[in-house]
Each structure stands twice: as C-alpha cells, then as structure tokens.
A and B are shown apart, each in its own frame.
Chain A
Amino acid sequence: MNPKQLTIEKVQEILRREQYVCDRALATVVYLSLVMGKPLLLEGEAGVGKTEIAKVLAKVLDAKLIRLQCYEGLDANTALYEWNYPKQMLRIKLEEVEHGDKQKVETEIFTQDYLIKRPLLEAIQSDGTNPPVLLIDEIDRADMEFEAFLLEVLSDFQITIPEIGTISAKHRPYVFLTSNRTREIHDALKRRCLYHWIEYPTFEKEYEIITTKFPQAEANMAKQICAFMQRVREMNFYKRPGVAETLDWASALIALNRKGLDDKTVVETMGCVFKYREDLHHLKEQIDGKQLNLEALLRVSPEMVS
C-alpha cells in the first residue's frame, strides 16, 4: 500500500482490520511517520502495544518486518554487519591451492558476497517492492554507545562500511523504535524521531480491544475485566498490568468457559494479571483483610463510560 494514499482515518481503519485498536492521536502520529519517512519513537508502560503496532503495520503495508531486539552489549557487529570470516578464509585457502591472483583475492573478499547482513544493513538494502518495516525494539536496553550507530542510519538511511563505502537505502524503511524507559534515550536520537507516549487505554478503548480480539466474549464479562483493570492500575502494585495482561486474562476466562467474574474466579486466574509474587501476595492479603472489595472492583462506574 502506498503511504501517499493514506489518511488518518484510513490508518485507523486498516489497523482495526488487523485487530489493533488505536486512538486518533496515535493514528495521526503513525500516519505522519509513514508519510514523512521519519522514525517514530514509541514509549509507554510495558504491555500497551508498542511492539504490536509495528508488527501489525508490516502486515497491512505488506512489508517485510525486520526486527532488532536490543540488549545490553549489543554492538555494531550484531546490529549492522559483519564480515564472513570463515568464507573469506576458505577463499584464501582455495586461491592458495590454485595459485590465484593475490591482488584480485584481496579486493574480492571484501565485497558484498562476503558480508553478513545484520538487521540494520538488511533494512537499508532491502530489495522488495515495498520498503520494509524496521522495528528497533526496547532501545533502552542497549548501551548508550549503540545509539550513536543509529544516528547515521536513522537520519540519512545509510551505512558506511570502510572497505566498501557508503551504502544508501533504496527505499527508506519505516522505522519504529520502542522504549520502556528503563533509562533515558539521548536527545540527539530523539530529535530524529517523532515521539509518542502510549497511555494505558481508557475503559472504552480497552473494552473495544477485548471485543475486537475476542468477539465471543460476553459483553458483561468484558466490562468487568476492564473495570477491574482500570482500578487496579491506579493501585500500588510493583508492576501494573498492561493490555497484554488484559488479553491474557480474557482469553483464559474464555478458555475456562466463564460468562462472568466472581470472587473465586478472579482469585483463581489472578496469575494472568499479576506476574510478581509480591503483587499476588499483596492482592490476596487485601482481599482476605477485607480492605478490598472485589465486587466493587468489578463494577462499571458511570465515570468510566464518559
């Protein structure tokens, strides 16, 4: 699909077709990113659908998804490119046996045939008819130094390899970066991106997400789940549950054939929502100590449906 033909409404619509519910602001930013060819930096709590949107977009744009998962210690060799040393060695050995031309070998083993493409180079060199979607996931996990590599790639869409020269992108890839904010991203990198913070969804949006993903879910139960999630996110838990947890929980409840939520079901399936022992413990303590009324938690209050 050509991004030039897109509009904000269309972005929203095609994302929804792939079961991704997004609000107008996010759709606008995604649209701008696609049309301007500027990378989009998405921040937000864990499990609000930062990574998912890149995946879904790759699907609807019919583009190849190239994903670079960041981790501490990620370096240029694993992110950009690496020379294929064994292949180079074999070639040298071969020429040794055949008494080949020394000069020729020297130039030939430093050509693209001997290059192992890592995600960033792959994204730049992609040949397909559509530009690929490059997802740089959890950039905050990589070291600060790694951000410096990204600067050249993200502003000029080119990579310089000393032995070959500068390789420029045939198609500008659509770039999405995500961050969980375990540390601050450097301003130089941020300035090259559009920025958007994905909030936890509102009650209505979350309800829409559940019913879009699981049309078979009972409306009443979906509402209960959303109400519970909205309230729990305001409470003091070590790790607040995201949309991913909501969906996990909904699918678990559907698998269990539940039509509605009651105290017992909630306690039994709490593992879907809280992934830390302390949080589970905290919740259980509160329920047992009657400080927390589950029924009230599950009720949909009028201010939620504004």
Chain B
Amino acid sequence: MEITQETVASAVNSVASVRGRGTLPNMMAFARALKQLGVKVSLSQVIDAARSADLVDIAEKQDFRALLRSNMILQKEDFPVFDMVFDCFWREQSYERVPMETLEIQGTPSESGAEEGGDEEGLEEAVAEAAAKENVPLENLEEFSIPTYSPQELLNCKDFSEMGVEESRAIARAILLIATKIATQISRRKKIGRKGSTVDPRWTMRRSMKYGGEIVELVQRKRRIKKTKVVLLCDVSGSMDCYSRFLIQFMYGLQNELWGVETFVFSTSLSRITHLIRTKDIGNALEKISGSILGWSGGTNIGRSLHTFNRSFAPSMVTHRSVVVIISDGWDRGDVSLLEREMQDLKRRCKKIIWLNPLLASDNYEPLCKGMQAALPYLDLFLSVHNVNSLVALGRTLQKMVA
C-alpha cells in the first residue's frame, strides 16, 4: 500500500472516535492508525508504551516520539510511516498547547476507568473497558489477521504469466507461506540432529585409559548436520518478465526464512540483491531492486553473468556444500561457448546445480535454444517453475538437499 499524507490523514481520522482522554485510549487509537497503514503493533507493546509514558517529559515532542517509536516499531523500514502518523496524530490533538491534559496518565477517576493507569491490572482492565466502550472485540486490537484467500486451489495450477494484479497478490502470499513452511521443516530437522548429541561410550572408555580406567572425560557424539547453502541466480531479462516478479518473491521468502541464502539477479550483467530483499517489506524491495538494477527487462547474457559470478562471488560463497539454483528460460544472446565454460566451472565448485525453467511446463517445449542446450549436461536437476504447484515441488527438492 502506498502511504501518502492523505492515507495517513484518513487513517488518523478513522480512529478519531476511539480517542478519548488519557494516555491509554490515545495510544490505542494511535496504534490502530498504525495498523491501518500496515504496521503491526501488539497490545502488549501499547501497554508498555502507556506504562512508560510517565518516564519522560511528554511535553518534549522528540522524547515522546522516541518513546513511542522504540516501543511500537520493530523495524526501521516502518520509521517513515511512524513519523508521518505521529506528526499527523499528535498535531491534531493540539499537542503543543495542552499536552498534559490530553496525555495525563493519572487523571481524576472517570466513569470509563481508562485513566486508572499505573499498575498492571488497571491497565489491562482499562484496555478491555476502552475496547468494550467502543464495541470493539478485544481480538481486533491484537495484530491484524492476514486475510485468507479461498480460490487458492484454482491458482495453484494457473500459469504465472496468465495472472492479473489481483491474483498476483494472492499468489505472493501463497509463495511466502510455502517458503516459510519449507524453512520451518528444515529447521526442525536440524534441531533433532543437534539434540541427538549423546555420550559415546566407546570413546569415553578409550579416553579413560590414560587415567588408569577412571572415567574423567566424557566423549560426546554429535550428529553434526552441515548445512547446505543455497545460491539463487534469477534471470530478469525481458523474456522472463511475466515470471520474475513471482520468482523474486519466492527468493525473498526463502531467503528470509533460511539461513545462508544468497540471491542474485541477472540479465546482461549480474547484481547481488541479497541485501536488498532482506527487509520485510517486499513491495518496497521489489521497487528498490528494479530501480537499482541495470538491464531489468533487457536482453540476456547468461554466459557473461555466470562469468561475473564465478569470478567475483563464487570463491567466497560457493562451496562443495552449496546448491546453486538458476532460474532462466535459457534464451541467451551471448556467447554460448562462454556459457558452457562457465557452467563447467560452476559445476566443479558446487554440490548441485538446479535449473528452473518456466517454459518447461508447456507441452511442446523442448530445450532447443542454444543456451539451454549448452547448459544441460551440467545440470543435476532440470525443473519447471510456472505455477504454485511447481514451487511446492521445488520446495520439497530443496528441502531434501538442504536438510
């Protein structure tokens, strides 16, 4: 969602009815305005903020801002939204003129009980009461629930390229869910591995020989599962246009959930975007990426991109435990022999190369284009990614390799 002065103003206006006298109702209204603009604030954070309000001089606007911000905001990406809402919200309350009146925490007792403040129970009660007063169920004050999407079954089989904007949002959510699922399953497996550390009786006995048979040192046996690293190389040239958005979303989801995923995009040249999609705000990230990358939607030079990768990044990022995933349709306008050489080089370095081709799903597709043919001998897996189901399949494959 785009945040403008207008959307902020309308969000602030819409919570005007919930605002009352006293710190807590105001803070709750403030938190709700934030939520409407997509910033999650939990009830406990609001309570903490209200509780700490008497610790600073709230007439000092900058201090008050820092207080609210540190309590309610969890990532720096939300700072700009916060600042806009803050300025709009507390200005309207004529902050400068009568700060103490509107923000008084220990005011005279009133029928609403919201000003009770101070001890914990009082606050919790006040929250409940303030909520009841406005006929808002308490659950609504908790985090915004994620809207569920029903026609997902349908979408699962639909080709990405045929999707409109509405569907793409739904699909983005689905992709994130899948990526999260893959990642959590992996981490659970790792955990069992680590918990499997037990005493190794054989080595314990053997070590005890030097102490004359006395057991002094215990030797532990650990099932150390070395984690595989995943490197994603995604083609964002013109021919991949209708797919790349989704794929980046998938990369984003995977990278945010898995440890040690490196992400690159390439068209005529290669760019590392790991740091760009590290944020939680995917919409912004996408914009940043397309803004900062040369040759987005341009031509393709896979060979040269791979060359850059092998020379500059592979030495530090790719080991014999890495899985390299290349997402491209293989339409290459560059030098095919260079592509082949670089594929060979890459193959030597890493554990597995997976090539994902969105065109593979169409019935009459054969990997005839020269680029694809050159790369084919060096691939461990050649899969399709064109709809959600194929992503699920990819997820499973990766999971087996990574765990």
| A residues adjacent to B (C-beta < 8 A) | 8, 24-25, 28-29, 31-32, 35-36, 38, 40, 43, 72-73, 75, 85-86, 89-90, 93, 143-145, 181-184, 187, 190-191, 194-197, 278
Contacts and interface: CB of A to CB of B under 8 A. Distances in A.
B70 A195 contact: yes
B312 A278 contact: yes
Interface string B38-52: 001010110010011
A75 B218 contact: no
Interface stretch (B4-12, B73-81, B342-350, B368-376): B73-81
Nearest to A72: B259
B79 A197 contact: yes
Contacts of B66: 24-25, 28-29, 32
Nearest to A27: B66
A194 B62 contact: no
B278 interface: yes
Given A36-B52, A190-B75, 20 more contacts: A24-B63, A25-B65, A28-B63, A32-B56, A32-B66, A36-B48, A40-B70, A85-B218, A89-B215, A89-B216, A143-B187, A145-B190, A183-B256, A184-B75, A184-B256, A187-B40, A191-B42, A191-B74, A195-B70, A197-B76
A184 B74 CA distance: 10
Consensus secondary structure, chain B interface: helix
Contact of A28 (B56, B73, B278): B56
Contacts of A195: 69-70, 73-75
Given A90-B216, A93-B215, A183 B79 contact: no
Contacts of B56: 8, 28, 31-32
B70 A93 contact: no
A191 B194 CA distance: 28
B259 A143 contact: yes
Nearest to A24: B62
B191 interface: yes
B183 to A, nearest CB: 8
Contacts of B75: 43, 184, 190, 195
Interface in B46-103: 48, 51-52, 55-56, 62-63, 65-67, 69-71, 73-76, 79
A179 to B, nearest CB: 10
A86 B217 contact: yes
A50 B174 CA distance: 36
Contact of A187 (B63, B74, B76, B278): B74
Contacts, number: 85
Contacts of A72: 259
Q: Give the 10 A-B CB pairs with smallest separation, nearest first.
A: A197-B76, A28-B66, A194-B70, A190-B74, A25-B66, A29-B70, A85-B218, A28-B63, A89-B215, A36-B52
A29 B65 CA distance: 10
B214 A194 contact: no
Contact of A93 (B44, B67, B194, B214): B214
A197 B279 CA distance: 14
B280 interface: yes
B75 to A, nearest CB: 7
Main secondary structure of the interface of A (DSSP, over half): helix
A234 to B, nearest CB: 14
Contacts of B65: 25
Interface string B300-342: 0000000000001000000000000000000000000000000
Contacts of B48: 36, 38
Contacts of A28: 56, 62-63, 66-67, 70
B55 A35 contact: yes
Contact of A75 (B42, B194, B216): B194
Contacts of A191: 42, 44-45, 74
Given A25-B62, A90-B216, A143-B259, A32 B70 contact: yes
B15 to A, nearest CB: 21
A36 B51 CA distance: 9
Contacts of A89: 215-216, 218
A190 B74 CA distance: 6
Nearest to A73: B194
Contacts of A40: 70
A292 to B, nearest CB: 20
B185 to A, nearest CB: 13
A77 to B, nearest CB: 8
Contact of A181 (B71, B191, B194, B278): B278
Contacts of A278: 312
Contacts of B215: 89, 93
25 contacts: A24-B63, A25-B65, A28-B63, A32-B52, A32-B70, A35-B52, A36-B55, A38-B48, A86-B218, A93-B214, A143-B187, A143-B190, A143-B259, A144-B187, A144-B259, A145-B187, A182-B278, A183-B256, A183-B278, A184-B256, A184-B280, A187-B74, A190-B75, A195-B70, A195-B73
A121 B192 CA distance: 24
Interface string B356-395: 0000000000000000000000000000000000000000
Nearest to B76: A197
Contacts of A8: 56, 63
Nearest to B77: A197
A91 to B, nearest CB: 12
Nearest to B191: A145
Contacts of A86: 216-218
Among A31, A187, A190, A194, find the residue whose CB has the most chain B CB atoms closer than 10 A: A194
A45 to B, nearest CB: 11
A189 B256 CA distance: 16
Contacts of A190: 74-75
Nearest to B312: A278
A204 to B, nearest CB: 16
B278 A32 contact: no
